[in-house]
Amino acid sequence: MPLTDLDLAGCLAYRPELDVPADLDAFWSRTLGGGGDPEAAVYEPVDTGLTQIRTYAATIPGFGGEPVRGWLHLPAGADGPLPCVVEYLGYGRGRGLVHEKLFWAAAGFAHLIMDSRGQGWSAATGGTPDPHPYPAGTVP
């Protein structure tokens, strides 16, 4: 709706009628249950040459078990649980080169930088290709 249709109070009070399909809850239950097993995640050490940050190439099963990739940066001296910043990058971006985003790990946090499936543009690091780039019945 255009910005000028309602004032702030009108926007906050607005409750549209919704046509909710009868099987909506079942749909989301099936869809969310179709994700990969997070216990099957793989973290492979990456030799970055850095001395204060340990980096791992992360491969985590996503929807339908399809792999999603990222970097996990940890402070080199960490020996226990850490607070973690998880960063999901928008479409058209990727996790980039291994040394590009070190701020959070340098500040003492674990930092997981995840590609979005079908994204991850970077000639140096590869990406997370989408094995199903077009909806069924469509032609690119």
User: How do residues 63-101 score in pLDDT, each as one tens digit?
Assistant: 777 788 889 999 998 989 999 999 987 766 677 788 889
pLDDT at 115: 83
What pLDDT was estimated at residue 139?
47
Mean predicted confidence (pLDDT) in 95-111:
91
- Rg for the chain, CA atoms, rounded: 20
Q: Yes or no: say if 67 and 61 are a contact pair by the CB < 8 Å rule.
A: yes
Task: Identify which has the larger pLDDT, 54 or 4.
Answer: 54
Give tens-digit pLDDT for 3-35. Answer: 668 888 988 999 989 999 999 999 888 877 777
| Amino acid 83: pLDDT | 97
Residue at 47: amino acid letter = D
pLDDT of residue 131: 60
How does residue 135 score in pLDDT terms, banded at 50, 70 and 90? low
Which helix (H) or strand (E) covers residue 9, if one does? helix 8-13
- Collect all residues with Cβ–Cβ distance below 8 Å to 27 and sequence separation of at least 6: 21
Q: Taking Cα atoms as reference points, which of 75, 67, 82 lies closest to residue 130? A: 67
Write the pLDDT tens digit of every residue in 113-131. 988 766 555 444 555 555 6
Q: What is the pLDDT of residue 60?
A: 86
Name the residue ranges covered by the structural domains of the chain: 35-114
* Residues shown for the chain: 140
- Do 63 and 88 meet the contact criterion of CB atoms below 8 Å apart? no
pLDDT the model gives residue 124: 43
Beta-carbon contacts of residue 111 (< 8 Å; ≥ 6 apart):
71, 72, 73, 74, 84, 85, 87, 101, 102, 103, 104, 105
Question: Does pLDDT of 39 surpass 90?
Answer: no
What does each C-alpha distance from 7 to 3, 10, 16, 86, 90 come to in angstroms?
A: 8, 5, 16, 36, 31
**H helices of 66-123, where?**
103-106
